[in-house]
Amino acid sequence: MEEETRLLPPDREGLAEAARLLAEGRLVAFPTETVYGLGGDARNDRAVAAVFDAKGRPRFNPLIVHLPSLEAARKIAVFDATAERLASAFWPGPLTLVLPVRPEAGLSPLVTAGLDTVAVRVPAHPVARALLEAFGGPLAGPSANPSGKVSPTRPAHVLSGLSGRIAAVVDGGDCAVGVESTIVGLAEGPVLLRPGGIPAEAIEACLGGPLPTGGHAEKPSAPGQLASHYAPSARVRLGADTPKQGEVWLGFGHDALEADLNLSPTGDLVEAAANLFHYLREADALAGEGGAIAVSPIPEKGLGRAINDRLRRAAAPRPAA
Ligand code: TXA
Ligand code: MG
């Protein structure tokens, strides 16, 4: 869907307009001290699906959730003593912490890619902070560039990649740091998941101990990459034009109006992505113990690629328990 992308000034009116657009579920790019982020309401399934769609991401990687303060971050993630220590040393600033998510926070499961952890960060850029205050909620914010392209550090970079695909860009001039935030996972002792704006040495000095590197694609610390990670307990059959006896039918499009659940009766891939994690859970519950789910074919284009990636994992052979 093409739309006119507006460049908003970082003053009171521009920020109020950006906050209004975000509350409507629209996408607004915003400056941070690292790179420009592509903001969408992290509680709104449609908005988060639209973030993946605008970037053309081929899979649902978990996204970083941006918050105005440590206090706000504590409402969506569980902080242990180490997390508190790192947050008070480096926030606001270019550090992201991966922590257990609070289910009651109401985040879209697309933001966490269905994981039970969430990446949180409190940015230092005054315009990002002012926008987060004005919006008053958690913002998903991957870098504001098409998937596979260089991260943007100026409004012009954002526009050259995403013009016509997002509602607005808040103009905050050039980003000072220019590389993404450092990501530290704290699930089983601190690990460096991505090097970035804060040197690992500074984090080690704060921790008073080493910060091993972790989180490679094949390792369990990046579970979204594991082939069968997303598996529901029911068996999953893909590319099903009609269900077999006893299967729960998870449909898509007009040809599946009789389905038990339909990801998008009109065949809208953004709507289907927004519904995907919720409907897989529901289908799993409907299928019951030892049951099976049949899923309609999903076109391999746009967000359909990310949906199919996720479905293939759901259908992948399970490791023996
Ligand atoms: O500097 C930055 O961090 C920029 C600016 C805009 O704030 N944002 C950014 O966001 O780089 P994003 O969403 O592109 O970063 C996602 C990274 C990925 O490497 C992803 O694997 C990791 O965060 N990540 C997010 N949630 C995770 C989780 N629950 N477990 C492990 N890794 C996670
Ligand atoms: Mg990026």
User: What's the rounded Cα separation, in Å, for the pair 241 and 121?
Assistant: 43
DSSP letters spanning 258-295: TSSEES-TT--HHHHHHHHHHHHHHHHHHH-TT-EEEE
**pTM metric for this prediction:** 0.92
Distance 142 CA to ligand 2 centre (A): 6
What is the reported pLDDT for 225? 45
What is the reported pLDDT for 316? 85
Ligand with an atom nearest the CA of residue 123: 1
Ligand 1 atom with the shortest distance to the CA of 34: 1
Ligand with an atom nearest the CA of residue 145: 2
Closest CA to 287 of 314, 248, 318: 248
Full pLDDT tens readout for the chain, 321 residues = 578 999 999 999 999 999 999 999 999 999 999 999 999 999 999 999 999 999 998 899 999 999 999 999 999 999 999 999 999 999 999 999 999 999 999 999 999 998 899 999 999 999 999 999 999 999 999 999 999 889 999 999 999 999 999 999 999 999 998 899 999 999 888 999 999 999 999 999 999 999 999 864 334 444 444 444 556 889 999 999 999 999 999 999 999 999 999 999 999 999 999 999 999 999 999 999 899 999 999 999 999 999 999 999 889 877 655
Chain position carrying tokens 């709104």: 44
User: What's the rounded Cα separation, in Å, for the pair 119 and 29?
Assistant: 19
Ligand 1 contacts CB of residue 183 (under 6 A): yes
Q: Is the dihedral of CA 257, 260, 266, 269 positive or negative?
A: negative
Residues with CB under 5 A from ligand 2 (ion): 143
CB atoms within 10 A of CB 230: 24
What is the reported pLDDT for 143? 95
